Amino acid sequence: MQTFDFDLFVIGGGSGGVRAARMSAQRGARVGLAEVAAMGGTCVNVGCIPKKLYSYAAHYGDSFEESHGFGWVGEKPVFDWDILKANRAREISRLNGVYVQLLESAGVKIIKGWARLLDEHTIEVDDRKFTAKHILVSTGGTPTVPALPGREHVLTSDHMFDLSPFPKRLMVVGGGYIACEFASIFNGLGSEVTQVHRRDMLLTGFDEDVRRFIAAEMGKTGITLRLGSEVSAITKTDTGLQVEFKDGAAGLEVDAVLYATGRVPNANGIGLETVGVAVNAAGAIQVNEHYQTSVPSIYALGDVTARMQLTPVALGEAMVVVDQLFGPAAGKKPRNMSYEFVPTAVFTHPNIGTVGYSEADARAKFGKVTVFRADFKALKHTLSGSTERTLMKLLVEDATDRVVGLHMVGPDAGEIVQGLAVAMKAGATKAVFDSTIGIHPTVAEEFVTMREPVST
């Protein structure tokens, strides 16, 4: 009988990898984990956590201005970019330590270095070799920048948290989550932001009402949107970066250019081709419903599989793998993972929260759908002086009365939608929403008071 150094060896210390390693070790497995960078992966170091901290920071500029309508007088404080960077770095360092402590206390052996597969049971980390009965690849994703003249002058999202100096003029290229969030953040912190996107609307895949509404709201905050436009070249000048466009529109000089046009699986240089792990045309590792690759002893999850690039999804996938390999926790059934009704938020200003189907997708899947929609000014802004508005939308399948889509653009949208996602997952109907008493006066109560459909 073959013996191994580990029962499970995890390549990658991001959210999914850490969860799989820690929970497997708690089930009694011998677990090793290799990570070349700071523990916590993209989410902790250059993604969700620092982005949300900077989003909080960016809201204060507006909040100080809005406070005057509530009787607060005086000038708003001066923003210090270096203080924000230092405080963020300290918090991220603390979280890195928490991740290490969680792994070590569970009995996981942490190996620092670059890991690559040698065969179906062997991993090399720098000059050391380890064997494992099972291997889990959870190396995440990485930003990608298209080939264009001046590509060497652009930044990716990984660079944005420690920029020096603070960019007074920032161009953001892209129309997805990351592009929209950074445009809102730096605009709120004081940059003059221009967002360029080759399509005619932001946030492909989101409900079209949400897409139109957020573009209007972002424009009201001062972001200049150049939709249907593509960058042709970037050149360095004595005073910044000169950006030219393919459509012949006038060029623009800025201090920094962020390219947020997509992420690709972080799968190069880890030996997938050596072992024969199948990947698709985009380089994502192909897995079955148990996250098993074409090599039976090797599993993969999270962004490296490019199924749904969200941290909580990677955590859920990790628990499926743990239960599959080492059995469920005592008294529990093995976990499974559903990609239907996964809630998500976009931390633009204002926020977006959504769960379920867009109107177009709901009509395609369910046929007859009734739409309820509300567009209003929140109570806070009756005194704040802000022109910000809130959008809420429900999509109801006619045949069952089930709510199959729920969308919001407005303050704390993620916090509100998270709770309603539980109801959606449980199959709540519009009748259930209607019979639920609202909390007054809140923005959220609008979701249980919408009675008149706008279309069917």
The runs of H, that is alpha helices, within 221-305 are 272-275
Give the whole-angstrom CA distance, residue 412 versus residue 178: 18
Q: In b/e form, how buried is each residue of 48-60, taking b as 16+ CB within 10 angstroms? A: bbbbebbbebbbe
Q: Is 440 a catalytic residue?
A: yes
Task: Give me the helix-helix angle, 177-189 and 48-66, nearest 10°.
Answer: 40
Half-sphere exposure at residue 417, Cβ-oriented, CA atoms within 13 angstroms: 26
CA distance 317 to 336: 8
Nearest to 361 by CA among 405, 398, 400: 405
Residue with tokens 């390549």: 11
Asked if the peptide bond before residue 265 counts as cis, ω within 30 degrees of 0, the response is no
**DSSP labels, 188-239:** HHT-EEEEEESSSSSSTTS-HHHHHHHHHHHHHTTPEEEET--EEEEEEETT
**Which residue in the list 59, 349, 381, 440 is annotated as catalytic?**
440
Burial group, residue 319, by CB count within 10 angstroms (0-12, 13-18, 19+):
buried
Q: Which residues are catalytic?
A: 440
